[in-house]
Amino acid sequence: MHNLLIVVAALLAQTPAAKPATAEDAKSFVKKLDGDLRKLYVRQSTAEWIKSTYITDDTERNAAAFNEDLMAYLNTANKEAARFKGLKLDAETERMLYLLRISSALPAPSNAEKRTELASIAARLEGLYGKGKACKTGKDGKQVCRDLQELSDVMGKIADKKKPASYDELLEAWSSWHETSKEMRPLYERLVTLSNEGAREFGSEDLGQLWRSAYDMPPADFEKETDRLWTQVKPLYDDLHCYVRAKLAKKYGADKVSATGGIPAHLLGNMWAQEWANIYPLVEPYQGQSSLDLKKQLVAQKYDPQKLVKLGERFFTSMGMDPLPATFWERSQFVKPPGRDVVCHASAWDVTFSNDLRIKMCIKIDEEDLITVHHELGHNYYFQNYYTKPVLFQQGANDGFHEAIGDALTLSITPEYLKSLKLIDALPKDEKGLINVQMKDALEKIAFLPFGRMIDQWRWDVFTGKVKPADYNKHWWALRLKYQGVAPAGGARGEDFFDPGAKYHIPANVPYMRYFLARILQFQFHRAMCQAAGHKGPLHTCSVYGNKEAGSKLKAMLAMGASKPWPDALEALTGQRQMDATAILDYFQPLQAWLKEQNKGQQCGWQ
């Protein structure tokens, strides 16, 4: 056991078990807890940063060791905290004890050998994803390997004007990436077993129940809440799916795209068919309207990665936020470094929990990464506004809040805003231009919703044992068809594949429901900020760029962190205490009415 843990264990054991616990004991416990966790979080976060930006066997092993230390401490601390159950405590102490119980997305068993094994498996799984490459022998006999970024570039060329990727090229790129996750399957099966054992020691029946406990309501109620929100938005998604499928069937033929079935996963412009913006030219409602190709203008104006991030920072500072610290520009990873493996999946960090803000990206100069930059800076500005609080309060009111902040501001990237930056030449002239803009937005934001809903449903079913390892892939595609209306590329996929592992958040063990909630909350936040800004008119015409009143409301919510239950934080910005998807329907009302007209005579839905 590391020296720090020996000290921690001794400190936690200093109160005799026979002595009845008091409210004052609980208060002293959480004060010491904050100091201990801060040290452990900083060590773990630093090791994770190094591992993610320099993947080697050594950095994986180093990160696993610090994760193991944190797992051990959380296991011991949770057992000690059980002494205070049933006591009448002050609100802050009660809140910290609750957050302690739900603090680990990967709780470890108390058995030291199993804890070491779990930490090692977790590091190995993420390493396999980061190092994943699809290799084949070229015509010259040499091996040619492509990583995720290169394979995703192929997927993104589905509608390239100069040289679009063919059906077979898309299928080959999709299939190649999904081959890389096969090795993960036995490791993931073991991770499920060990993390479930840890979750039971934390007082939950399984890991999925522990995750669902993190929303200030009973786990069963939270699952019903996600179903309620999905029911609110599903009609809009169904209308979009119906229109897109008809367009793709016309392009590729009924033999490749069924008129009544799921859309093949490789035909939606994204490796996971989670966002469909790249197929916009194939489904564009009205040709000849103002150009919405931001990439062309970004390149023409000589945007580089840092300039793109500066653009995102300017949006936040225009609303009264502070500039990013100088260390952000020194320590962030903006591009993929040559000659070494890194995790290119975009993420935001406060490595030392003290305004040590960073982003980790492999930035491309295009519209997708313009949006991603705003999303990641949303995390950074959340960090910046709550970093003075106790470390357990340094998180979103719920995890969906954290993901929603930057995306809420991207809703203010209106045509008028883009024209002011000279990123588009002219504003949409009429309703046709508006429908084009809304279609492009919907392909990114609405298309994502069922994908966001189903990822954790798959894991919840796996963690409970409802789905056995022998059916991992079968259940994955059953849920993708049920929620998304998406089918596997190239036909049925057997259990020799582990297609869930081809999505980063599965091997990295990152709960995914946060992204579904974020897509709901961002519109709710946007509507509230527009109301604070005094906006009149349709919601889709509102931009809060430069509005200090909207910024002040936002900052008030950000500064709360997780110090209060999320309905309190939601109320601070929106005046509402329930998550509400009706703002999405308000925003996309023009598009939904148009889609219903276009889909007349079509057989919508899927079998």
* DSSP label at residue 166: P
Could you confirm whether 241 is annotated as catalytic? no
* Same domain as 412, residue 292: yes
165 in a structural domain: no
Same structural domain, 199 and 221: no
Q: Are 192 and 217 part of one and the same domain?
A: no
Q: Which of 512, 515, 545, 587 is catalytic?
A: 515
Active-site choice (80, 367, 403, 444): 403
Q: Is 505 assigned a catalytic role?
A: yes
2 is catalytic: no
End-of-domain residue from the set 157, 176, 203: 203
Residues 197 and 258 grouped into a single domain: no
Q: What is the pLDDT of residues 171-200, one digit of tens each?
A: 999 999 999 999 999 999 999 999 999 999
Q: Is the pLDDT of residue 281 over 90?
A: yes
Residue 292 has what pLDDT?
A: 64
Q: Decide if 403 is catalytic.
A: yes
Is 607 a residue whose pLDDT tops 90?
no
11 confidence band (pLDDT: 50, 70, 90): very low
Whether residue 429 is found in the same domain as residue 538: yes
Nearest to 241 by CA among 607, 604, 602: 604
Does residue 460 sit within a domain? yes
For residue 428, the model assigns a pLDDT of 78
Q: What value does the mean pLDDT of the chain take? A: 93
Assess if residue 351 is contained within a domain.
no
Q: Is there a domain that residue 592 lies in?
A: yes
Active-site annotation holder among 119, 122, 246, 346: 346
Number of folded domains that form the chain: 2
User: Are 282 and 199 in the same domain?
Assistant: no
**Is the per-residue pLDDT at 1 higher than 50?**
no
Examine the domain organization and report whether 242 and 191 are in the same domain.
no
CA 597 to centroid of chain Cα atoms: 33
Residues 267 and 222 in one domain: yes
Residue 400 scores a pLDDT above 90: yes
308 belongs to a structural domain: yes
Range in 2-6, 331-335, 490-494 with the lowest mean pLDDT: 2-6
Residue 174: inside a domain: no
Tally of CA atoms within 13 A in the half-sphere of 43 that contains its CB: 18
Residues 102 and 224 in one domain: no
pLDDT of residue 293: 74
Domain end (from 173, 203, 233)? 203
What CA–CA distance (Å, rounded) separates 373 from 371?
A: 5
The dihedral region occupied by 361, where left means phi > 0, alpha psi between -120 and 50, and beta the remainder, is beta
Question: Is there a catalytic annotation at residue 379?
Answer: yes
pLDDT tens, residue by residue, 35-78: 999 999 999 999 999 999 999 999 999 999 998 999 899 989 99
Q: Verify that 119 and 222 share a domain, yes or no.
A: no
> Is 197 labeled as catalytic in the residue annotation?
no
* pLDDT at residue 141, as a whole number: 82
Same domain membership, residue 384 and residue 259: yes
Q: Range of 191's domain?
A: 3-129+186-203
Q: For residue 263, is it within any domain? A: yes
Nearest to 401 by CA among 522, 221, 319: 522
The catalytically annotated residue of 252, 286, 505, 571 is 505
The tokens describing 481, both together, are 């068809």
Query: Is residue 292 domain-shared with residue 198, that is, in the same domain?
Result: no
Look up the CATH number of the domain holding residue 477. Answer: 1.10.1370
Domain end, chosen from 203, 237, 267, is at 203
CA 35/CA 6 separation, integer angstroms: 15
Question: Which residue bears the tokens 């709710």?
Answer: 524
Q: pLDDT category, 497, cuts 50, 70, 90?
A: very high
349 belongs to a structural domain: no
* The one catalytic residue among 345, 368, 417, 478: 345
Catalytic residue among 178, 379, 535, 540: 379
